[in-house]
Amino acid sequence: MKIGSGLFSIFCLIIIIPSILLIYSMNYDTTGNIGIWLTILVTIIDIVAVVMWVWIYKRILVPLDKLQIATKRIADGDLDYQLDERDFSEIPFLYNDFERMRIKLKEDEEEKKLSEDAAKELVSNISHDLKTPLTAIRGYVEGILDGVASSPQKTRDYLNTIYNKTNDMTSLIDELLYYSQVAEKHMSYKYEKIYVKEFFDEYVKDLYLELETIKIKFEYIVDIGRNTVIDMDKEQIKRALNNIVSNAVKYMDKEEPEIHFRVTETSDAINIQISDNGRGIDEKDLPHIFERFYRSDVSRNTKLGGSGIGLSIVKKVIENHEGSVVAVSKPGVGTEVGIELKK
């Protein structure tokens, strides 16, 4: 029996039984005194029963009904379905517990979605960055096969760079494996104290060779103390730099291409500037280039492949180092990307 109809039957009995007794006793009451008192009593009982029924119906049965509807909606996945607090003034604990459950489920759902999005983003970022060393390796191997590496020293340099590029790829794949095994919510960074000058000297060695093979003039200026140290994740910073340089190469349109790499320091920061004399970026595109999947109309209309995520990776890596990245550009003249990393 349902709770509503059960209660209704009880209230009917409360009203009907005294009424029957009243009628029955009136038949035997000769004085009429008992009849008056019984009538008053039965009327009071009936009124109380009706008032109680209405109260229980409105304050308990209707809210329970609403709770049942809400539970069904939540079970069907509608976690935004909210109860009206005013309906539960007599049973506030039910409303509070239900709301707590709904909010917790909603938070869990959002967190799950966020970590799924983060996983998707990580996989697409790594796939994107794997392309860069692969393209370079293919270039060097072709260089060796075509005899561009004319001396044994050159061949050794090429092979060394291929070796370094495969190391870059290994760390990217390790990152992917680490993520899939540990299933962490956020990508973990491996911060360590790095001697900045040594790091950049090493980084540009490969870069110099790489740009030389594609006939881009490269200038490296470093004005940093030997002992300057910052906390960073070397592999991630390399990824960011690779993305900036690969843009400088990809969007180059000059007969005499140039890329300049400058690293300087102030009392509390390291500044890195990478500039090119490529085709530059339109004023209207410049504020958006760090957004994920943003590509200027010019980029989209050319055959230069790309998904528009390179600079969003740069931004993420630099911001995770609590640094900042900006770009200035003049269409037709060139682009400069500046990074500041706090000491």
Ligand X SMILES: Nc1ncnc2c1ncn2[C@@H]1O[C@H](COP(=O)(O)OP(=O)(O)OP(=O)(O)O)[C@@H](O)[C@H]1O
List of residues contacting Mg ion (CB under 5 A) = 247, 310
Among Mg ion, ligand X, none, what binds residue 289 when CB lies within 5 to 8 Å by partner kind? ligand X
CA distances, 305 to each of 66, 130, 298 (Å): 56, 14, 12
Question: Cβ closer to ligand X: 196 or 325?
Answer: 325
CB under 8 Å, gap of 24 or more: what pairs does 282-287 form?
A: 282/331, 283/331, 286/327, 286/328, 286/329
Angle at the Cα of 261 (from 251 to 200), degrees rounded to 5? 125
Backbone phi, psi, residue 186, to 5°: -125, 150
308 lies in the binding site for ligand X (CB under 6 A): yes
- Helix ranges, the chain (H): 3-28, 33-56, 62-75, 92-145, 152-182, 196-213, 234-250, 297-301, 310-320
Going residue by residue from 229 to 268, which x/- string records binding to ligand X, judged by CB under 6 A? --------------x---xx--x-----------------
Report the residue number whose CB is nearest to ligand X: 310
Return the half-sphere exposure (C-beta side, CA atoms, 13 A cut-off) of residue 260. Answer: 13
Tokens 């005294």 sit on residue:
18
311 lies in the binding site for ligand X (CB under 6 A): yes
Question: Cβ closer to ligand X: 310 or 323?
Answer: 310
Specify the stretch interacting with ligand X by CB under 6 A; choose among 19-27, 29-37, 219-227, 287-295.
Answer: 287-295
Report the residue number whose CB is nearest to Mg ion: 310
Q: How far is the CB of 207 from ligand X (least distance, A)?
A: 15
Question: Residue 40 and residue 45: Cα distance in Å, rounded?
Answer: 9
What are the structure tokens assigned to 135, written together?
Answer: 């393209």
Question: Cβ closer to ligand X: 35 or 306?
Answer: 306
Q: Which member of 82, 127, 135, 307 binds ligand X (CB under 6 A)?
A: 307
315 lies in the binding site for ligand X (CB under 6 A): no
Question: Cβ closer to Mg ion: 42 or 216?
Answer: 216
- Among residues 125, 337, 119, 117, the alpha carbon closest in space to that of 235 is found at 125
Q: Which member of 165, 279, 316, 321 binds ligand X (CB under 6 A)?
A: 279
Q: How far is the CB of 276 from ligand X (least distance, A)?
A: 5
Q: Which member of 70, 224, 241, 289 binds ligand X (CB under 6 A)?
A: 289
Q: Please answer whether residues 341 and 325 qualify as being in contact, where contact means their C-beta atoms are separated by less than 8 angstroms.
A: no
- Tell me the torsion sign for CA atoms 26, 29, 35, 37: negative
294 lies in the binding site for ligand X (CB under 6 A): yes
Q: Which member of 270, 335, 339, 341 binds ligand X (CB under 6 A)?
A: 335
Among ligand X, Mg ion, none, what binds residue 299 when CB lies within 5 to 8 Å by partner kind? ligand X
281 lies in the binding site for ligand X (CB under 6 A): yes
Total residues contacting ligand X (rule CB under 6 A)? 24
Q: Which member of 165, 239, 295, 316 binds ligand X (CB under 6 A)?
A: 295
Question: Residue 191 and residue 321: Cα distance in Å, rounded?
Answer: 9
What is the footprint of ligand X within residues 119-158 (CB under 6 A)? Answer: 128
Question: Residue 175 and residue 121: Cα distance in Å, rounded?
Answer: 13
- Tell me the torsion sign for CA atoms 301, 302, 308, 311: negative
Specify the stretch interacting with ligand X by CB under 6 A; choose among 32-40, 197-205, 220-228, 280-288.
Answer: 280-288
11 lies in the binding site for ligand X (CB under 6 A): no
**Binding stretches for ligand X (CB under 6 A):** 128, 243, 247-248, 251, 276, 278-281, 285, 289, 294-296, 299, 306-312, 335
